[in-house]
Chains A and B, each alone.
Chain A
Amino acid sequence: MKKILFLVIIFLTILTFSSFAQVIKIGTMAPEGSLWDTTLKEIAAEWDRISGGRIKVKIYTGGSIGNEEDIIRKMKLGRLNGAALTSQGMANIDPDLIALSLPMKISDDEEFDYVFNRIIPDFNSTLDNKGFKALAWTMSGWVKWFTTQPVSTPDDLAKLKIAVDNSDEKVIQIWKRIGFKVIPLALPDLMSGLYSGMAQGTYITPYAASALGMAELTPYMYDMPITPLYAGLFLNSKSWERIPDRYKEEIIAGTSAVIEDFYDKMKKIEDEAVEVMREHGLVITPQTPSSTELWVDKVNTGVDIYVKEMISSEMNRKMNSYIDEYRNKKN
């Protein structure tokens, strides 16, 4: 009896002590030392400061804890508390969250900025329904074509075999319907696929292209924003609820403050990366208004049906109304 009592006391002591420091585990695909990594570390320091050391953030970089699909499952299972996800991975929580990344839907930074700010409350409630809490959102960069031959019109691209991430069947279908030759490839196969000529191009952010060393394989970049890559820092609702209420407001404010100039920093890094790639032989084909029109027309032929299957009509309607809002204001 005494023994059991003793054990219970020890157990309770452990329990109370452990509730003092709350560890928040956050996973990301971004590699160590990248802008995401340093930003997350700043956020961690911020939370530590706000909570007086009661909230400790542990960051798992470089996909060491799994890819985005797996990270999301681990958040659902509770082992990970949070994640910094890109719009590519968010579809695994709810496809509505990638509404803005439909190709050729949004044309530039300014438009994105407006629509993004308008739609974030809708995204947040979608997340809420799925058991997640968003602490911050940010733009991260534009996805562009990188090809083995110069491309400026859809017809140029139609001649090439383009590699598309094989994890999202619907995205593959969109490109196929538009009329491009699509090679679905797993990420590990991407580089060797481009190297061997199985694929002759892909779409990717210039920053990622430079990190992968793609300038040598695909020396042509078409400087047209195809789709925005945005990102968010999410916690699962349970972990968020466990954070004491008195810190919550400050945590959100502090996180937003850290992340506010993320995109500006990112743009700077990306510009430098593009400059380095150019020195290594990257040829940049500039975007022209006439070819952009061709792209918008071409892409619209394939997107509509799949929009219906991927994104709820509600979210689609909202997005379109925000875009119209912006365009009307501008005119």
Chain B
Amino acid sequence: MNTEIKRINRRFFYYLVYIFSALLFIIPVLEIGARIIFRTGVTGSYAYVRQAVLWLSLISGIIAVKENKHLAIEAGVKYLPENIKGRVRIISDIITVIVLACYFFASVSFSFLAFEADEKTGLFFTRHLSFILPAGFFFMFYYNIREFIKKRNKVLSILVILFSVIMSIIPIYNLLSDVAGFSSRFFDSAVDIVFMVSGFALKPLIAVLVVSGVFGTPIFIVIGGITYLLLTVSGGYTEIAVNEIYTVLTGNMIPAIPLFTLTGFILSESRAGIRLINFFKAAFGWFPGGIFIAAIIISAFFTTFTGASGVTILALGGILYVILENYGADKKFATGLLTSSGSIGLLFPPSLPIILYAIIANTDIKEMFIAGLLPGFLLVASVSALGVFYTERKKLKKISIDFKSIVTSVRESVWELFLPFVILFCYFTGLTTLVETGSIAVLYTLIIETFVHKDISLKKLYLITKKSAPVIGGILIILGMSKALSFYMIDEMIPQRLSEWIALKISSKVVFLILLNIVLLITGCIMDIFSAIVVVVPLITPLGELYSIDPVHLGIIFLANLELGYLTPPVGLNLFLSSYRFRMNLEDVYVSVIPFFLIMLVAVILITFVPQLSLLFIR
């Protein structure tokens, strides 16, 4: 009995994620149904979907903490000597605990200050719904401090908790004085001291956060910590950070992100990959370099759904690698090809980075989707060209056309092959909104993988949500934190100042574009795509205006550069994933991507300087 309770306890958050993921796609599906059948929607469905995303994000965030899977830059730690590693780890742990405590108190204060007691969302009180924020941060804090107490000595742990409370004094003060009407002189001066100390120590503290980020502190902690400090110093409105998280996660388009991620996970956990590989092998294998092209197209297919979360290399890398090797490719070439294909579908609909870019930059999502097509094909073609060239040079044998196997493989994979068309049809004909399209995608893949192919059982479905939770949580929490930071930048009018400054220094559009390429390449190299979009896009959109670059074209430049950034040594994300997946030295992976990097660089330069590639169909 006792163990049963413990088991349920351990699985509690996973069950919750399961429930909220289900709600997230069922509600829009019901909405579509109601609209078609009754010609009217479901009452309040949108409000519920938005709240479901908020809950899903926080709960998944807790899971990511429990599993230690929040996105972090691990590159720095690798090169540290053993004896220093431990110390760096302690500092990183301390920072994490303190930042989470600050956000816990700030979100309690936020829930009480931002929502009236009688304010309602659907049938629920909005304030009650917003309690997931403090609850989420509390559990993240709790799991971190529990680990900390287990690993380190008690005195240090108590000091850390004490310091957490001191750093949180401002939201505690706001809560007590504004909500409970409490006031005391001692308290006032304590707050003043924190203001003063943070003010004087702002720059060193931010530097510590940034450096610790390079050495493995989760990115959401680094961004969140910096934002919290900046907000503390500029007037103490720390609840604003939580408000931004709330606002962005309850945004209208955001539900599309977990929905398409879930679709990607269902696909990668089923045998869809194998079926598609069989098809593309049969369909393209006879062509010189056809096997390589098939691998690239499959990667494109999967990265479209999974964005740049690295799922493609992890889920399909293994099997594709074996196929390429059997075909006669050497280790180096196969690794290079798969690494550079690890985010190659980024520019095709319904790619999440495109959606997110359009939301943040306030451009039209549909236009962005259309604009991404040609540049996307250009990137696919350039990597494929290398494959063809390699085949010719190595005189690899071609596979002869076998119509029978084409027919069987088509029959097997026809449902998955239809998926992109289902999505494009629903969205572009106006049958469904973007979020609804996401839920259709989940429903469609669920039906084909559970009922048609019987790859996925109910139990496996649970495992899939379990696997997808830390990814979804990781992305969405970073999204929330980054939004808070970009709010601070807008509040301080930093984008305007930056563009004024750059306008003074650079007069030529060409020079600007080259610089933009370099900066974005570095950004893509060190930052995950979601943080990069939320933090960097508000800075570059006014610049685009300044040099009269079409906002849609700017978006494509941005994403193409980031895509390339993922294979830029020394710290591009795909390089690590490949090194991990193919059990290769990082240095060898660097060497393997060089030819691919160069040819994709040419493609990115073309995309940057030939706007027609992006704008042909929309302007």
Could you tell me which A residues sit within 8 Å of B by CB distance?
7, 11, 25, 60, 64-66, 70, 73-74, 76-79, 130, 161, 166, 169, 172-173, 176, 181-189, 191-193, 195-198
Which residue of chain B lies nearest to A195 when distances are taken between CB atoms in the complex? B430
A74 in complex: contacting residue of B240, B366, B429, CB < 8 Å: B240
B364, A192: Cβ atoms closer than 8 Å: yes
What are 9 pairs between A and B in contact, CB < 8 Å?
Answer: A66-B247, A73-B114, A79-B235, A79-B491, A161-B39, A166-B46, A169-B122, A196-B428, A198-B431
A77, B243: Cβ atoms closer than 8 Å: yes
Q: Chain A residues near B359 (CB, 8 Å)?
A: 188
B43, A74: Cβ atoms closer than 8 Å: no
Which residue of chain B lies nearest to A73 when distances are taken between CB atoms in the complex? B114
Report the Cα distance A195→B196, complex, angstroms: 54
A173, B433: Cβ atoms closer than 8 Å: no
Secondary structure type dominating chain A contacts = helix
A189 in complex: contacting residue of B113, B247, B433, CB < 8 Å: B433
Q: A7-B200, A192-B365 are in contact. Are A197 and B192 (CB under 8 A)?
A: no
B491, A188: Cβ atoms closer than 8 Å: no
A176, B40: Cβ atoms closer than 8 Å: yes
Interface hub of A79, A186, A198 (most chain B Cβ within 10 A): A79
Q: A11-B192, A189-B433 are in contact. Are A169 and B44 (CB under 8 A)?
A: yes
Report the Cα distance A189→B430, complex, angstroms: 10
Min Cβ gap B233→A in Å is 12
Min Cβ gap B357→A in Å is 13
Q: Chain B residues near A130 (CB, 8 Å)?
A: 116
A78 in complex: contacting residue of B35, B237, B429, B430, CB < 8 Å: B237
Q: Chain A residues near B428 (CB, 8 Å)?
A: 196
A182 in complex: contacting residue of B40, B113, B364, B487, CB < 8 Å: B40
A188, B252: Cβ atoms closer than 8 Å: yes
Could you tell me which B residues sit within 8 Å of A by CB distance?
35, 39-41, 43-47, 110, 113-114, 116, 122, 192, 196, 200, 235, 237, 239-240, 243, 247, 252-253, 359, 364-366, 428-434, 487, 490-491
Which residue of chain A lies nearest to B358 when distances are taken between CB atoms in the complex? A188
Q: Chain B residues near A187 (CB, 8 Å)?
A: 252
Report the Cα distance A32→B216, complex, angstroms: 42
Q: Chain A residues near B200 (CB, 8 Å)?
A: 7
Min Cβ gap A306→B in Å is 12
What are the nearest 8 A-B pairs in CB distance?
A: A196-B430, A186-B252, A198-B430, A79-B237, A166-B46, A73-B114, A79-B240, A169-B44
Secondary structure type dominating chain B contacts = helix
Min Cβ gap B542→A in Å is 10
Which residue of chain B lies nearest to A64 when distances are taken between CB atoms in the complex? B490
Report the Cα distance A70→B239, complex, angstroms: 13
Which residue of chain A lies nearest to B46 when distances are taken between CB atoms in the complex? A166
Q: Chain B residues near A176 (CB, 8 Å)?
A: 40
Q: A77-B110, A77-B239 are in contact. Are A7 and B196 (CB under 8 A)?
A: yes
Report the Cα distance A181→B247, complex, angstroms: 29
Q: Chain A residues near B235 (CB, 8 Å)?
A: 78-79
B237, A188: Cβ atoms closer than 8 Å: no
Q: Chain A residues near B240 (CB, 8 Å)?
A: 74, 77, 79
Q: Chain A residues near B490 (CB, 8 Å)?
A: 60, 64-65
Report the Cα distance A193→B364, complex, angstroms: 12
Q: Chain A residues near B110 (CB, 8 Å)?
A: 77
Min Cβ gap B28→A in Å is 12
A192, B430: Cβ atoms closer than 8 Å: yes
Report the Cα distance A169→B49, complex, angstroms: 13
Which residue of chain B lies nearest to A11 when distances are taken between CB atoms in the complex? B196
Report the Cα distance A111→B430, complex, angstroms: 40
Interface hub of B40, B192, B359 (most chain A Cβ within 10 A): B40
Min Cβ gap B195→A in Å is 8
Report the Cα distance A66→B114, complex, angstroms: 14
Q: Add 14 more A-B contacts to A65-B491, A188-B365, A197-B429 (CB < 8 A).
A: A7-B196, A70-B247, A74-B240, A77-B239, A77-B240, A77-B243, A78-B235, A79-B235, A79-B237, A161-B39, A181-B39, A184-B46, A186-B253, A193-B430
A169, B43: Cβ atoms closer than 8 Å: yes
B252, A192: Cβ atoms closer than 8 Å: no
Q: Chain A residues near B44 (CB, 8 Å)?
A: 169
Q: Chain B residues near A11 (CB, 8 Å)?
A: 192, 196
Which residue of chain A lies nearest to B200 when distances are taken between CB atoms in the complex? A7
Q: Chain B residues near A65 (CB, 8 Å)?
A: 487, 490-491
B41, A189: Cβ atoms closer than 8 Å: no
A77, B40: Cβ atoms closer than 8 Å: no
Which residue of chain B lies nearest to A196 when distances are taken between CB atoms in the complex? B430
Min Cβ gap A87→B in Å is 18
Min Cβ gap A65→B in Å is 7
Report the Cα distance A198→B237, complex, angstroms: 42
Q: Chain B residues near A74 (CB, 8 Å)?
A: 240, 243
Report the Cα distance A64→B492, complex, angstroms: 12
Which residue of chain B lies nearest to A75 when distances are taken between CB atoms in the complex? B114
A197, B237: Cβ atoms closer than 8 Å: no
Q: Chain B residues near A73 (CB, 8 Å)?
A: 114, 243, 247
Q: Chain B residues near A182 (CB, 8 Å)?
A: 40-41
Q: Chain B residues near A7 (CB, 8 Å)?
A: 196, 200
Which residue of chain A lies nearest to B430 when distances are taken between CB atoms in the complex? A196
Which residue of chain A lies nearest to B178 when distances are taken between CB atoms in the complex? A78
A181, B40: Cβ atoms closer than 8 Å: yes
B429, A196: Cβ atoms closer than 8 Å: yes
Report the Cα distance A192→B429, complex, angstroms: 10
Min Cβ gap B115→A in Å is 8
Report the Cα distance A196→B425, complex, angstroms: 11
Report the Cα distance A181→B200, complex, angstroms: 59
Which residue of chain B lies nearest to A8 when distances are taken between CB atoms in the complex? B196
Q: Chain A residues near B433 (CB, 8 Å)?
A: 185-186, 189, 193, 198
Report the Cα distance A172→B432, complex, angstroms: 18
Which residue of chain B lies nearest to A191 when distances are taken between CB atoms in the complex? B364
Min Cβ gap A125→B in Å is 17
Q: Chain A residues near B116 (CB, 8 Å)?
A: 130
Report the Cα distance A66→B483, complex, angstroms: 11
Which residue of chain B lies nearest to A67 when distances are taken between CB atoms in the complex? B247
Which residue of chain B lies nearest to A7 when distances are taken between CB atoms in the complex? B196
Report the Cα distance A78→B243, complex, angstroms: 12
Report the Cα distance A64→B538, complex, angstroms: 10
Report the Cα distance A70→B252, complex, angstroms: 13
Which residue of chain A lies nearest to B247 when distances are taken between CB atoms in the complex? A70
Min Cβ gap A23→B in Å is 10
B237 in complex: contacting residue of A77, A172, A196, CB < 8 Å: A77
Q: Chain B residues near A70 (CB, 8 Å)?
A: 243, 247
Report the Cα distance A60→B431, complex, angstroms: 36
Report the Cα distance A66→B35, complex, angstroms: 30
Which residue of chain B lies nearest to A173 when distances are taken between CB atoms in the complex? B43
Report the Cα distance A79→B428, complex, angstroms: 40
Which residue of chain B lies nearest to A93 when distances are taken between CB atoms in the complex? B116
Min Cβ gap A318→B in Å is 21
Q: Chain B residues near A25 (CB, 8 Å)?
A: 491
Interface hub of A73, A130, A182 (most chain B Cβ within 10 A): A73
Report the Cα distance A101→B30, complex, angstroms: 31
B243, A188: Cβ atoms closer than 8 Å: no
Report the Cα distance A173→B45, complex, angstroms: 12
B114, A76: Cβ atoms closer than 8 Å: yes
A183, B35: Cβ atoms closer than 8 Å: yes
Which residue of chain B lies nearest to A62 when distances are taken between CB atoms in the complex? B362
Report the Cα distance A194→B45, complex, angstroms: 21
Which residue of chain A lies nearest to B195 when distances are taken between CB atoms in the complex? A11
Q: Chain A residues near B239 (CB, 8 Å)?
A: 77
Q: Chain B residues near A185 (CB, 8 Å)?
A: 433
Q: Chain A residues near B41 (CB, 8 Å)?
A: 172, 182-184
